[in-house]
Chains A and B, each alone.
Chain A
């Protein structure tokens, strides 16, 4: 069965600090990978996704993620965070087959201090 783990439950950073959120998944087949963000009181929004091709994926709001197949990892990065990046971040995976559900990681809560 697929599963997703995220390295940190809660991260606290000062503005302008660099961010890296770890994500590992377990699944034997090929996968689609996602990072979602959920701002306080709001719904899930897609930050970026990886389906195939260049393993370095750029998303919205200056976020990027790198897929390292050998490590089953898909870490999220941002060189300089802002207070408005305070949110819950979910790594997610689904199998590269039709109609498959998305499996979410437990989430990492990011708090950015002005």
Chain B
């Protein structure tokens, strides 16, 4: 079965650079969520989109932005990267309805040096 796809899987950037992470949800899923998991931490919710509109916002820094496109894929744009941004970034998708389950992608490991 098709799963959530994230690219790239690994990314190394320097401080103050920008990075773009991509998420391709499971086909027909219309909702995308982004989570950040720092080393030894639990995943923290960043932001979500439903039908290309932002549906919820968590602890996403102002330096980050995200959007969902017409084909439902989503991109997380990160600017002015800091060392503390080094983390595993998960994307999850779901079919928006009252009872649903989020399916997580494999994550993108971002290392800022």
A positions within 8 Å CB-CB of B: 32, 36, 42-46, 49, 51-52, 90, 94, 96-107
B positions within 8 Å CB-CB of A: 31, 33, 35, 41-45, 48, 50, 55-56, 58, 88, 90, 92, 94, 96-102, 104-107
Most chain B Cβ neighbours within 10 Å, of A46, A51, A99: A99
Closest Cβ neighbor of A97 among chain B residues: B98
Nearest CB in chain B: distance from A27 CB, A:
15
B43 & A99 in contact (Cβ 8 Å cutoff): no
In whole angstroms, what is the CA distance A97 to B98 when docked? 5
7 residue pairs from A and B, CB less than 8 Å apart: A42-B106, A90-B42, A98-B50, A99-B48, A99-B50, A99-B55, A101-B56
A103 & B99 in contact (Cβ 8 Å cutoff): no
A107 & B104 in contact (Cβ 8 Å cutoff): no
